[in-house]
Chain A
Amino acid sequence: MYRFQNIFKQIDFALLLPVIFLIITGLFTVYSATHITQASSQNYFSRQLFYAVIGVVLIFAVTFVPYKVIFDLSYLLYGVSLLLLILVLFIGIRGYGAERWLSLGAVKIQPSEFAKITTVLAVARYLSRNRRNINHISNLTVVFLMILIPFILIAKQPDLGTSLVFLALIIPMLYFAGISWFVLFVLVPPVITMVVSFNLYAYMVWILIITIILIFARQKLYLKILVFLQHILVGSLMPVLWNSLREYQKQRILTFLQPEKDPQGAGYQIIQSKVAIGSGGVWGKGYLQGSQSQLNFLPAHHTDFIFSVLGEERGFIGIFIVLTTFLFLFLYMLYLSNQVKSSFSRLALIGFTTILFFHTLVNISMTIGLAPVTGLPLPFLSYGGSFLLTSCLLIGISMNFSRNRFQP
Chain B
Amino acid sequence: MNYWDRSFRTKRLIIFSSFIIFSFTILVLGFFNLQVLQREYYLQLSLHNVIRQVKLNPVRGLIYDSKNNLLVDNRPAFSAALIPAHTTKETIKKIADYFNIPVKNIIYRLRSAPRFRPVIIARDIEKKKLIYLAENQYFLPGLDIILDSKRYYPKDVNSPHIFGYIGEVNQKDQERDPRYELGDMIGKAGLERYYDTDLRGTKGIRYIRVDASGKELGDFNPQLNEPPIHGSDLYLTLDYDLQKFAESLMEDKRGSLVAIDVRSGGILAMVSNPDYDIRLLSGKIDPEIWRTLLQDESHPLYGRSIQSAYPPGSTYKIVTAIAALQDGIITPAWEAYCPGYFRLGRRIIRCWKIDGHGWLDLYGAIKNSCNVYFSKLGLKIGLKTWSKYSKLLGFGKRTGIDLPNENPGLIPTIEYFNKIYGENGWTKGNLANLAIGQGELLTTPLQIAQFAMILANRGLYHRPHLVDHIYNYQTQKTIYFPIQSKYVVGVSSEVFDVVREGMHQVVNGGTGWLGKVPGIDMAGKTGTAQNPHGDPHAWFMAFAPYYHPEVAIAVMVENAGSGGGVAAPIGRKFLEMYFYHKLIPRPVIKKDSLQVEPAINPIQSVPLDSLSPLPILNQPGTE
Question: Which residues of A sit under 8 angstroms from B23, Cβ to Cβ?
Answer: 357, 361
Q: Does B21 contact A (CB under 8 A)?
A: yes
- A 170-190 binary contact with B (CB < 8 Å = 1; else 0): 001001111010000000000
- A 309-343 binary contact with B (CB < 8 Å = 1; else 0): 00100011001100100110011001101100001
- B 122-163 binary contact with A (CB < 8 Å = 1; else 0): 000000000000000000000000000000000000000000
Of B20, B26, B36, B38, the residue contacting A330 (CB under 8 A) is: B20
The CA-CA distance from A29 to B126 in the complex, in Å, is 47
Q: Which residue of A lies closest to B112 (CB)?
A: A38
How distant is A168 from chain B, measured CB to nearest CB, in Å? 12
Of the 9-residue stretches B41-49, B352-360, B451-459, B538-546, which lies at the interface with chain A?
A: B41-49
Q: Is the CB of B36 within 8 A of A282?
A: yes
Given contacts A279-B47, A297-B51, A327-B20, contact A343 B36 (CB under 8 A): no
Q: Is the CB of A178 within 8 A of B17?
A: no
Of the 9-residue stretches B4-12, B326-334, B404-412, which lies at the interface with chain A?
A: B4-12
Q: Is the CB of A327 within 8 A of B13?
A: no
Q: Does A276 contact B (CB under 8 A)?
A: yes
Of A134, A277, A350, the residue contacting B31 (CB under 8 A) is: A277
Additional A-B contacts beyond A292-B50, A323-B27, A370-B30 (14; CB < 8 A)? A37-B114, A176-B13, A177-B3, A264-B224, A275-B42, A279-B43, A279-B45, A282-B39, A297-B53, A323-B28, A334-B13, A334-B17, A338-B13, A368-B34
Q: Which of A242-292 contact B (CB under 8 A)?
A: 264, 268, 272, 274-282, 291-292
Q: Is the CB of A357 within 8 A of B20?
A: yes
- B 79-108 binary contact with A (CB < 8 Å = 1; else 0): 000000000000000000000000000000
Interface residues contributed by chain B, number (CB under 8 Å): 42
Q: Is the CB of B51 within 8 A of A327?
A: no
Interface residues contributed by chain A, number (CB under 8 Å): 53
Question: Which residues of A sit under 8 angstroms from B9, Cβ to Cβ?
Answer: 176, 338, 346
Q: Is the CB of A311 within 8 A of B47?
A: no
Q: Is the CB of B3 within 8 A of A311?
A: no
Q: Does A364 contact B (CB under 8 A)?
A: yes
Given contacts A175-B12, A178-B4, A295-B116, contact A364 B27 (CB under 8 A): yes
Question: Which residues of A sit under 8 angstroms from B28, Cβ to Cβ?
Answer: 319-320, 323
Q: Which residue of B lies closest to A294 (CB)?
A: B115
The CA-CA distance from A364 to B28 in the complex, in Å, is 10
Q: Is the CB of B31 within 8 A of A311?
A: yes
Given contacts A176-B12, A364-B27, A365-B27, contact A281 B36 (CB under 8 A): yes
The CA-CA distance from A54 to B168 in the complex, in Å, is 45
Question: Which residues of A sit under 8 angstroms from B224, Cβ to Cβ?
Answer: 264, 268
- B 407-435 binary contact with A (CB < 8 Å = 1; else 0): 00000000000000000000000000000
A interface residues, Cβ below 8 angstroms from B: 36-38, 131, 133-134, 172, 175-178, 180, 264, 268, 272, 274-282, 291-292, 294-297, 311, 315-316, 319-320, 323, 326-327, 330-331, 334-335, 337-338, 343, 346, 350, 357, 361, 364-365, 368, 370
Question: Which residues of B sit under 8 angstroms from A316, Cβ to Cβ?
Answer: 31-32, 35-36
A-B contact pairs, 9 of them (CB 8 A): A281-B39, A282-B35, A291-B46, A295-B52, A316-B35, A323-B28, A331-B17, A334-B16, A365-B27
Q: Which residue of A lies closest to B113 (CB)?
A: A38
Question: Which residues of B sit under 8 angstroms from A311, Cβ to Cβ?
Answer: 31, 34-35
Question: Which residues of B sit under 8 angstroms from A296, Cβ to Cβ?
Answer: 116
How distant is A54 from chain B, measured CB to nearest CB, in Å? 29
Question: Which residues of B sit under 8 angstroms from A327, Cβ to Cβ?
Answer: 20-21, 24
Q: Is the CB of A277 within 8 A of B34?
A: yes
Given contacts A278-B43, A282-B39, contact A319 B4 (CB under 8 A): no
How distant is B583 from chain A, measured CB to nearest CB, in Å? 62
The CA-CA distance from A180 to B34 in the complex, in Å, is 40
Q: Is the CB of B115 within 8 A of A280?
A: no
The CA-CA distance from A177 to B4 in the complex, in Å, is 8
The CA-CA distance from A357 to B31 in the complex, in Å, is 18
The CA-CA distance from A343 to B5 in the complex, in Å, is 12
The total of Cβ contacts below 8 Å across the A-B interface reads 122
Q: Does B223 contact A (CB under 8 A)?
A: yes
Q: Which of B197-247 contact A (CB under 8 A)?
A: 221, 223-224
The CA-CA distance from A153 to B47 in the complex, in Å, is 46
The CA-CA distance from A279 to B51 in the complex, in Å, is 14
How distant is A204 from chain B, measured CB to nearest CB, in Å? 28
Q: Is the CB of B4 within 8 A of A343?
A: yes
Question: Which residues of B sit under 8 angstroms from A346, Cβ to Cβ?
Answer: 9
Q: Is the CB of A264 within 8 A of B30?
A: no
How distant is A83 from chain B, measured CB to nearest CB, in Å? 33
The CA-CA distance from A364 to B26 in the complex, in Å, is 11
How distant is A330 from chain B, measured CB to nearest CB, in Å? 5
The CA-CA distance from A316 to B46 in the complex, in Å, is 17
Q: Is the CB of A338 within 8 A of B10?
A: yes
The CA-CA distance from A334 to B114 in the complex, in Å, is 47
Given contacts A176-B12, A295-B116, A343-B4, contact A274 B27 (CB under 8 A): no
Q: Is the CB of A331 within 8 A of B20?
A: yes
Q: Is the CB of B50 within 8 A of A291?
A: yes
Question: Which residues of B sit under 8 angstroms from A180, Cβ to Cβ?
Answer: 1
Q: Is the CB of B223 within 8 A of A264?
A: yes
Q: Is the CB of B35 within 8 A of A280?
A: yes
Question: Which residues of A sit under 8 angstroms from B4, Cβ to Cβ?
Answer: 131, 178, 343
Question: Which residues of A sit under 8 angstroms from B43, Cβ to Cβ?
Answer: 278-279, 281
The CA-CA distance from A350 to B12 in the complex, in Å, is 11
Question: Which residues of B sit under 8 angstroms from A177, Cβ to Cβ?
Answer: 3
How distant is B395 from chain A, measured CB to nearest CB, in Å? 45
Question: Which residues of B sit under 8 angstroms from A364, Cβ to Cβ?
Answer: 27
How distant is B320 from chain A, measured CB to nearest CB, in Å? 56
How distant is B55 from chain A, measured CB to nearest CB, in Å? 13
Q: Is the CB of A278 within 8 A of B35?
A: yes
Q: 10 smallest A-B Cβ distances: which pairs?
A: A278-B42, A178-B3, A279-B46, A316-B35, A278-B34, A368-B30, A279-B42, A279-B43, A281-B39, A327-B24
Question: Which residues of A sit under 8 angstroms from B52, Cβ to Cβ?
Answer: 295
Q: Which of A134, A274, A370 has the most CB of B within 10 A?
A: A274
The CA-CA distance from A286 to B211 in the complex, in Å, is 21
Question: Which residues of A sit under 8 angstroms from B20, Cβ to Cβ?
Answer: 327, 330-331, 334, 357
The CA-CA distance from A280 to B42 in the complex, in Å, is 9
How distant is B209 from chain A, measured CB to nearest CB, in Å? 11
The CA-CA distance from A177 to B544 in the complex, in Å, is 93
Question: Which residues of A sit under 8 angstroms from B53, Cβ to Cβ?
Answer: 297
The CA-CA distance from A264 to B225 in the complex, in Å, is 11
Q: Which residue of B lies closest to A364 (CB)?
A: B27
Q: Which residue of A lies closest to B207 (CB)?
A: A268
The CA-CA distance from A335 to B116 in the complex, in Å, is 49
Q: Which of B4, B17, B24 has the most CB of A within 10 A?
A: B24
Q: Which of B20, B34, B43 has the most CB of A within 10 A?
A: B34
The CA-CA distance from A18 to B46 in the complex, in Å, is 32
Q: Which residue of A lies closest to B21 (CB)?
A: A327
Of A294, A323, A370, the residue contacting B24 (CB under 8 A) is: A323
Q: Which residue of A lies closest to B53 (CB)?
A: A297
